[in-house]
Chain A
């Protein structure tokens, strides 16, 4: 192989002195790039699970106001009376918040590492050979989805963005009236367009993310191999189609009177 510029290190694997490691096992694992990929995969899986269940819950919209609002209330009453009202909901929210923070921290630090790994770029033109659109745009779709989630919370959880530009006939945001709030929001065409664009970005992110998490965790075998792509396409398509249908249904008058 190529000649060395610097003096060579120890040649035997057994002669290498063990590195100092953080005492805590998880910190030791998170320190490595592969460990950060495990964290991205596991937190990503949690977030995919959330997005999927969220989509299923939203489908209640098609059953009408009563069912939809009842489902929203049910989420607050999970495991009542074992635990007081909204406790489980808050535990789930904290779990998701932790997953988002870790997912973004791992992504940011890996991006910094990757930039450092090629400090001098290729000077001639260079193009990807087989990397697909989804894998190349993960950072952008990730940022779009994150900003969208902030908007989504402001619109339908906190509600202050729900009244912006809403028709007078639709009334005002009322906490707990999930169905009316959704209809009021989607009756604004630009907002519906925003939801549709953000969900396509989400689908693109999931398409690469779901396949990628199997690879990062090492969940693969010759028989399962091709299914990883099918699973990624299936889940991403299902989520995008269902989520995009909601604003269209409201604008078309199928949902809401």
Chain B
């Protein structure tokens, strides 16, 4: 185990939603290279609390890359420099001694800053509420394999279902669009037999809820590069196709095949 010396952190501090906010610089004399980025912030916060200053507020929960709570724009990259990794799984060994690291919150009109590095991502919840469910009657767990699903379809649906809803796609998108998030949520149900009854109403409702908060897709692919689950923008094409079909099917109100 070795240590990194002399890190300079430039961190966004903002006391509340209405505050203008500013960058503040902090020095880290020494930190283990086995510390995660969030643990490094924990160490810094302990020090700030000891000094009687206010700790830096940031989102975190499971710290094992599956809950989608952590965020942070690190050196201009959502979830930092390591591809396919959430901030909580990013370790200090990805940095060098003497590095200057700039940490900012996600920035999008739909994600107002609550405090410091914490933003309100509830518009993503609004999108899921609009259609990210199935209305099959629930009961006891059904037997495995009672509904046959071809393996490639199950794989594709699972790839989409990997989305942890962290909002990195919105943060990385030059247009502040949430197409990758919405498309992942649409695809994971629309690909599976269980999602078919609401397939067309789902995609229409979710896309139009997305429209109320976010920008539009210009196919840069930045979201895919930022996604901690490396979800492909292929799901966006799938959502665009289903939305196009849904507009015609829902309009005619015939049997939605």
Contact = CB atoms under 8 A, between A and B. Distances in A.
Nearest to A129: B225
Contact of A215 (B75, B174, B207, B237): B237
A107 B44 CA distance: 45
Residue of B21, B219, B241 ringed by the most chain A CB atoms within 10 A: B219
A41 B221 CA distance: 17
B234 A2 contact: no
A122 B21 CA distance: 12
Given A9-B126, A33-B215, 5 more contacts: A5-B112, A110-B218, A126-B73, A218-B244, A220-B237
Interface in A180-222: 208, 211-212, 214-220, 222
A36 B216 contact: yes
Interface stretch (B25-33, B48-56, B101-109): B101-109
B122 A2 contact: yes
Nearest to B118: A2
B249 interface: no
B108 to A, nearest CB: 5
B215 A212 contact: no
A122 B59 contact: no
Interface string B235-253: 0111111111001000100
15 contacts: A1-B121, A12-B129, A16-B130, A33-B215, A114-B174, A114-B216, A118-B109, A124-B10, A126-B76, A129-B172, A129-B225, A215-B236, A218-B242, A220-B238, A220-B241
Nearest to B113: A120
A138 B224 CA distance: 20
Contact of A138 (B121, B211, B218, B242): B218
B119 interface: yes
Interface in B127-178: 129-131, 133, 165, 172, 174-177
A19 interface: yes
Interface of B: 10, 12, 17, 21, 23, 59, 68-69, 73, 75-77, 102, 104, 107-110, 112, 114, 118-122, 124-126, 129-131, 133, 165, 172, 174-177, 205, 207-208, 211, 213-222, 224-226, 233-234, 236-244, 247, 251
A39 to B, nearest CB: 12
Interface string A73-114: 000000000000000000000000000000000000010011
A206 to B, nearest CB: 14
A25 B176 CA distance: 27
Contacts, number: 174
A17 interface: no
B215 A113 contact: yes
Q: Which of A5, A116, A211 has the most CB of B within 10 A?
A: A5
A124 B23 contact: yes
A93 to B, nearest CB: 28
A122 B216 contact: no
* Among all A-B residue pairs, the 10 with the closest Cβ atoms: A218-B241, A117-B215, A117-B176, A114-B175, A126-B76, A218-B240, A131-B220, A33-B216, A220-B237, A114-B215
A125 interface: yes
Contact of A122 (B10, B104, B243): B104
A38 B244 contact: yes
A117 B119 contact: no
Nearest to B247: A29
A208 B241 contact: no
Contacts of B217: 33-34, 37, 215-216
Contacts of B68: 1
A8 interface: yes
Contacts of A212: 218-219
Contact of B222 (A11, A129, A211, A215): A129
A30 to B, nearest CB: 11
Contacts of B76: 122, 124-127
A163 interface: no
